[in-house]
Structure 1
Amino acid sequence: MRRVIPGLIAAVLALTSGLARADTLRMECPPSKEGRQFCSFIKQQFEAQTGHTLAFISLPPASNEKLSLFQQLFAAKDSGAIDLFQADTVWIGVLDKHLLDLTDSVADIRNDFFPTSLQNDIVNGRVKAIPAYMDAGALFYRKDLLEKYGEKPPVTWTDLTRIATRVQQGEREAGHKNFWGLVFQGKAYEGLTCNALEWVESQKGGSFIDAQGNITINNSRAAQALDMAAAWVGKIVPPGSLGYMEEESRSVFQNGDALFMRNWPYAYMLAEDRSSAIRGKVGVMPLPKSEDGTSVSTMGGWHWAISAYTKNPKAAIALLKIVSSAESQKKALALTGWAPSRTALYDDPEVLAQAPYLADFKEVFIHAKPRPATQTKRQYAQVSKAIYNATYNVLRGDSDGATAVAELQQRLERIKARGWR
């Protein structure tokens, strides 16, 4: 990594050399054909409306490399590298001091976005980004199999466990020996943190760390949630799921070998592809909850942010508003498939005619909850690692829920020490 990043910085600076005029702004542009078409659309609007010039740069596709590049550019307070860029959901707290304060500038549009998504972008009461597009965990299910067994989509985790057990048994007795009731992302990585948050918070076990930064994981409801998930493994969930990430889960489900799947919205479009074995048979819904809880989906997605070191903050804010407008979000959906972050677009006939599946995701996005990244700031990576390792140990049977949450509480207290920073 130490050899790669300097080269990336040099490439960025080389791309922007000769464009140092204050009226030239630099925006991140996806490298795909569709991404370039979207950027061209934004360029035409921005230059026509403001009289400024818009230039584009490409950034590393790998999220960790991209974050490392930003951290080095911002540490140098480089005002010529980039003005507007996309930040991952969990970066806002990490990059907080390097992001332009948007609080007053976006007061007129902040209520246009999904509330929980915008809340992710608020650090210490200040708006530091605007949601670019939505992503959240959802429950996918086989509509044909639920109909075959006379079942309805599950509302609670108890429903899911019962239905998955019944259908799995029935399908295996019918000759489908490798059929499972449920698949999810069980590998010890960030995806398991997302699953764990959904299990715990949907059963009133809290969010590991609350909005004020208090560590809350050591409680009986959180312990029960982890024990519930562990009880699935080997019964309705394949043991191999402890090595699954998103694509491994999708492969099992899309091959027709599972009834339920927890995954992100991208899986829906692939499941409906012409080559899919389950095309036309897939439903999607918010994740289940406990009998007295509420459905919770972990929020993913990316957010538009402006470098605090921009030479022209007024023009950068104008660009931000153009790129996040309803018209631009419709164009991004058409070209790149980005799910809009503006709530009203999910009731827009033009949007629903273009992407009817989005009607199923509106409720999922409403229930989306951010990971405890904004409040834990630069320590989030340590926090997430502690969460997914503790959860993995319970799933693997090396610990029980009560022991795991007590030890995780202590581990997070040590990471926090004198405060999140």
Structure 2
Amino acid sequence: MKKTSLFTAALAAATIWSGTALAVDLSIVHGSVGKDQEVLRAELDRYEAATGNKVTIVSMPESSTDQFGQYKLWLAAQSSDIDVYRLDVIWAPQVAAHFVDLTPHVADIRDQYVSAAIESQTVDGKLVGLPMFLGAPALYYRTDLLEKYGEKVPATWQEMTATAKKIMDAERAAGNADMQGFVFQGAAYEGLTCNAQEWINSFGGGRIVDTDGSININNPKAAEALTLAASWIGGISPEGVLNYKEEDARGVFQSGNAVFMRNWNYAYALAAGDDSAVKDTFAVTTLPSGGEGLASAATLGGSHLGVAKYSKHPEEAIELVKFLNNYDNQKERAIVTSRPPTLNAVYGDAEVGEKQEFIPLWKPVVDNALARPSAATKRSYNEVSSEFWTAVHDTLSGNGTAEQNLAKLEARLKRLKGAGW
């Protein structure tokens, strides 16, 4: 395995070969939460020191839905303002035409990456993005509160609901009026799509759109899952959860005011930080299932780095992408941000396991994570996801039953599909 020092030495040599005349200015657009931005800046500082190139971070809002809206504007305009894009795992089929094919540039290292991550970024044989980190959410829970009330870690959503209510009610009766039972991402955006497909799939309700492109989401198991979720609002979950994104949920849990939380891996490092009210009183487990004999479902997340075809410095941008995804940078990212790496070898790194035990434990979850139907629905994925999260949000908000909203969703998805995706 090549280490950062060898890679940066090669970059430096290339720069020194023709003096500082080769130095260029690059930009990377990067939506982030938690410690992502500070870790990226440290990595870029090392890159700049080795190459003489300068890299500016163009920050984006937390919501991936908002990010993608801006990305589409830049790409449609063929803007050269952005060289490297941090891409959500689901975007490759929609943006492939705007990005450099990385296949020939990473032929010597692509086998070192998690195969599913490479596959998720490959469109018609073109590697759109080099995998940066993966994600598969967890159920965060308060170990001290479960122990206090003699409750076990829930295996099903029904058990989670009952346990959350019991502990929440008892804590409120004891004087903690702010205690919530369960917080998650309930706002009408891509995060709700991730949450809701987990509920539905874990109940045996299938996928939003099946891998063959067929539409079977309007079924009794899907309705059962959404009906249970709707019962949480104003019960074990605050009504405000209908506007929560990742950081909103983390803020409640990390302040000590929630028994359970569904969130991505990045929240682990932050909840375990010295400034966290729950530093030594929480743990994680896989998301619950919809009942005995049914399997848990965790949405596949993650971000990957692609080079825009419109970059004025594509060669330097490609080298930057490779640098940011090398072993040492992925190792540091795993330790500091608890983001699951995309290089297989990092999962077996002893220091990573010692400093961030969450990472090696989560490898099987990442390997078996549930993909969203971006490959099946191609360029229509954004519209599909929007229709799905709207139907779910309406159900959670009490605007129609799960059965009514799933029937409307089915009709809308069939109109979107037309003769084919």
Give me the TM-score of the superposition, normalised by structure 1.
Answer: 0.80
Q: Which position in structure 2 is the counterpart of 1:340?
A: 341
- Write the deviation string for residues 31-87 of structure 1: whole angstroms up to 9, x where unpaired: 956433312434566x5xxxxx75534324236676456545544556x65554321
Query: 1:61 and 2:60 equivalent?
Result: yes
Q: 1:24/1:258 Cα in 2 relative to 1: closer, same or farther (>3 Å)?
A: closer
1:415 alignment counterpart = 416
- Aligned equivalents of 1:65 and 1:157: distance in 2? 30
Residues 1:307 and 1:275: Cα distance change in structure 2 (over 3 Å): closer
SS in 2 for 1:134: strand
Residue 390 (structure 1) aligned with residue 391 (structure 2): yes
Aligned to 1:13: none
Per the TM alignment, residue 154 of structure 1 is displaced from its structure 2 partner at its CA by 1.6
Between 1:212-221 and 1:67-76, the stretch displaced more is 67-76
Q: Which residue of 2 aligns with 1:39?
A: 44
Determine the C-alpha separation between the residues in 2 that align with 1:216 and 1:293: 19
- Structure 2 CA distance for aligned equivalents of residues 77 and 173 of structure 1: 59
Higher alpha-carbon deviation: 376-385 or 26-35 = 26-35
Task: Say if 1:131 and 1:279 are closer, same or farther in 2 by CA, change over 3 A.
Answer: same
Give the Cα separation in 2 of the matches to 1:244 and 1:310: 36
In the alignment, what sits opposite 1:143?
Answer: 143
- The answer to whether 1:366 aligns with 2:367 is yes
Cα gap change, 1:165/1:70 in structure 2, threshold over 3 Å: closer, same or farther?
A: closer
Counterpart CA distance in 2 for 1:278 and 1:194 is: 25
Unaligned runs of 5+ in 2: 1-20, 31-35
Cα distance change of structure 1 residues 313 and 228 upon mapping to structure 2, 3 Å threshold: same
The equivalent residue for 2:276 is: 276
Following superposition, the deviation at residue 192 of structure 1 comes to 1.3
Following the alignment from structure 1 to structure 2, what is the Cα–Cα distance between the partners of residues 24 and 336?
Answer: 29
Q: Tell me if structure 2 keeps the 8 A contact 1:142–1:282.
A: yes
> Deviation at 1:108?
5.3
Q: SS of the counterpart of 1:261? A: strand
Root-mean-square deviation (Å): 3.3
Distance (Å, rounded) in 2 between the aligned partners of 1:65 and 1:239: 23
What SS does the aligned partner of 2:132 have? strand
Separation (CA, whole Å) in 1 of partners of 2:395 and 2:65: 27
Deviation at 1:335, TM superposition (A): 6.8
Q: Is the 8 A contact 2:129 2:304 kept in 1?
A: yes
Contact 1:29 / 1:35 at 8 angstroms: preserved in 2? Answer: no
| SS of residue matched to 2:250 | helix
With 294-303 and 305-314 compared, the bigger mean Cα shift is at 305-314
Task: Indicate yes or no: 2:253 matched with 1:253.
Answer: yes
How far off is 1:363 after superposition? 4.2
Tell me if the contact between 1:183 and 1:253 (Cα under 8 Å) persists in the aligned partners: yes
Describe the SS at the equivalent of 2:304: strand
State the partner residue of 1:9. Answer: none
Superposition deviation, residue 114 in structure 1: 3.8
Q: Give the 3 Å change call, closer, same or farther, for CA 153–408 of structure 1 in structure 2.
A: same
CA contact (8 A) 1:182 1:236 kept: yes
Give the whole-Å Cα distance in 2 for the aligned partners of 1:173 and 1:332: 41
State how 1:166-185 maps to structure 2 within 5 Å: 166-185=166-185
**Measured at CA, do residues 332 and 254 of structure 1 come closer, stay the same or move farther in structure 2, by a change above 3 Å?**
closer
Q: Does 1:401 align with 2:402?
A: yes
Contact 1:285 1:364 in 2 (8 A): no
Of residues 392-401 and 105-114 in structure 1, the stretch that sits farther from structure 2 once superposed is 105-114
Q: Aligned equivalents of 2:67 and 2:245: distance in 1? A: 21
Q: Distance in 2 between matches of 1:361 and 1:76?
A: 40
Aligned to 1:206: 206
| Distance apart, 1:222 and its partner CA | 1.4
Aligned residues: 393
Aligned-pair identity (%): 38
**DSSP-derived class of the 1:301 partner:** strand
